[in-house]
Amino acid sequence: MHALRAVFAPTCSPFREKPFLLERLMLIESGSPVAADTRVGISLTINGQHRELQVAPWTTLLDLLRETLDLTGTKKGCDHGQCGACTVLVDGVRVNSCLALAVMKDGAEVTTVEGLAGLSNGGAGSNGLHPMQAAFVEHDAFQCGYCTPGQLCSSVGMMNEGHAHSRDEIREAMSGNICRCGAYTNIVDAIEDVMAQDGAAQDLGAAR
């Protein structure tokens, strides 16, 4: 542990800003100093494509997606797990990718907004969109669009969880995804629409 702190802490901003990353790194600590050019081999299936990757142990899943794989649909907002802009699906579960070390997701299946259409049971619609994407367009559920990839992945993950059945429950379940433009009403409309199509919503038409 001391070796890791000595090697990384003085120069590596992720550890200054996110001490918990250092704690996570203990899981792969070998007990000896780790060189700054250390890379760990991992395999991920990203949007249906198998990838063998060499990553620095401290690389977040968000940075791997954006900086290495050029999948820039996933957004970096707060980089501290507070805004949800970086939400992706890992094995069908919504995850803040800024809080996940890539090495911790070895072997996982990752879906970003770029691959969302491929998750649709009936395949992408004629417009090439996942039903949730189409509903966001239909309900004008965004303004600047910065939060939208995270909102989309989070809403699909929320439906996988199966806990939200009303507008209030949708709002609660989506509360980790911040929209600075305040498009919340239309976002909930879009999600509710898809849930209705899916038969998941029980009290549609509740007071808005």
Q: Which helix (H) or strand (E) holds 96?
A: strand 93-96
Q: Nearer Cβ to ligand FES, position 141 or 195? A: 141
DSSP letter string over 137-174?
Answer: HHTT--SS-SSHHHHHHHHHHHHHHT---SHHHHHHHT
CB of 6 to ligand FES, least distance (A): 28
| Position 179 contacts ligand FES (CB under 6 A) | yes
Q: Nearer Cβ to ligand FES, position 77 or 115? A: 77
Give which of 78, 84, 51, 69 is closest to 154, Cα–Cα. Answer: 84
Under the phi-then-psi rule, with left for phi > 0, alpha for psi from -120 to 50, and beta for the rest, what region is 143? alpha
| Position 98 contacts ligand FES (CB under 6 A) | yes
Give the footprint of ligand FES on residues 182-201 (CB under 6 A).
183
Identity at 200, one-letter amino acid code: A
CB of 84 to ligand FES, least distance (A): 5
Q: In sequence order, what are the beta bridge partners of 101?
A: 60
Among 46, 59, 73, 79, binds ligand FES (CB under 6 A): 79
Among 24, 45, 51, 81, binds ligand FES (CB under 6 A): 81
Give the residues lining the site for ligand FES (CB under 6 A).
Answer: 76-79, 81-86, 96, 98, 142-148, 179-181, 183
